[in-house]
Amino acid sequence: MTSQKMIVEIQEWLKEAAAFIRVSLANKVTVSQKSNRTDLVTNIDEETQTFLIKKINKYYPNDSILAEEKGFDTIESLDGRVWIIDPIDGTMNFVMEQENFCIMIAVYENGVGKLGFIYDVMKDELYWGGKDLGVFVNDQKLQQPKDRALSDGLIGMNAYMYGKNIYAAGEIGHASMGIRVSGCAGIELIAMLKGNHIGYISNLSPWDYAAGLVLIEEFGFKYSDIEGKPLTFSKREYFLAASPTAYTQIQNDFVHKS
């Protein structure tokens, strides 16, 4: 079972990891390519993940871990308690901008999201919460955003999907008040929690969305793969999250438009 003790521990780990990252930015960051020149990983990604995994293994040795780097990127099932980690979400931003990136941790039990943490490192803003706990930024409890229609709000968007109009992403963007492209799922999901954006469309892996799902679900947002099917937590997939009204509009008026 999750507990207040676990929440405090995770917050402490995140603060420690963030302090390490800030110091590391002043030193040489080693950058490597994964699948292509825009799919990057750094020594800081890997060292941050190693630090968090060591903490989990020490305090919760019987739990499973799904994480982006170093062979932890697959898991047989979500049975039991599973920790889902993105050590640096927005690595390109981390390398090129040195801001607009996050550390994300989620705790799931038998496939149900219990706790989610999204830490905007450079702003020192930790968005966290859980099932029936509410959603907080640092120590301040957030109010649930209004359920706005697609035409009444901004929507976060994957640039490639928008440019190529994949699943009508371009048309969806034009129907909204405008699109925003941050290059970081954590930053986009934070924008939804704050009520700044009414939705987010992208192509994500489970560590990109796991923590955010716990938080946006607490606020009543709807989410799925782009076609409305449940997310698999096992591969990269087209992702949609939005206010209930905007979600229905996107599905009915664009994705499944006959």
By the 10 Å C-beta count (0-12 exposed, 13-18 middle, 19+ buried), 253 is classed as middle
**Quick one: tokens of 118?**
């999204």
Measured in degrees and rounded to the nearest 5, phi and psi for residue 58 equal: -75, -45
Confidence check: pLDDT of 42 > 50: yes
Taking CA atoms, 80 is separated from 175, 192, 200, 234, 258, in Å, by 42, 29, 29, 16, 41
Q: What is the pLDDT of residue 34?
A: 60
User: Long-range contacts for 74-78 (Cβ within 8 Å, ≥24 apart)?
Assistant: 74/234, 75/233, 75/234, 78/108, 78/110, 78/111, 78/233
141-192 per-position pLDDT tens digit: 999 999 999 999 999 999 999 999 999 999 999 999 999 999 999 999 999 9
- Is 89 annotated in a binding site? The answer is yes
Structural domains in the chain, CATH included, are 4-141 (3.30.540.10), 150-255 (3.40.190.80)
46-67 per-position pLDDT tens digit: 889 999 999 999 999 999 999 9
187-209 per-position pLDDT tens digit: 999 999 999 999 999 999 999 99
- Is 16 annotated in a binding site? The answer is no
- Is 225 annotated in a binding site? The answer is no
Cβ partners under 8 Å of residue 19, min gap 6: none
104-153 per-position pLDDT tens digit: 999 999 999 999 999 999 999 999 999 889 999 999 999 999 999 999 99
- Is 253 annotated in a binding site? The answer is no
Measured between alpha carbons, how far is 153 from 147 in angstroms, rounded to an integer? Answer: 10
Measured between alpha carbons, how far is 3 from 56 in angstroms, rounded to an integer? Answer: 15
Region class of 192: left (phi > 0), else alpha (psi between -120 and 50), else beta: alpha
Q: What is the pLDDT of residue 258?
A: 46
Token look-up 């699109």 returns: 179
- Is 79 annotated in a binding site? The answer is no
**Per-residue pLDDT band at 97 (split at 50, 70, 90):** confident
**Quick one: tokens of 181?**
């492209």
Name the residue with higher pLDDT: 193 or 28.
193
Beta bridge partners of 128: 117, 136
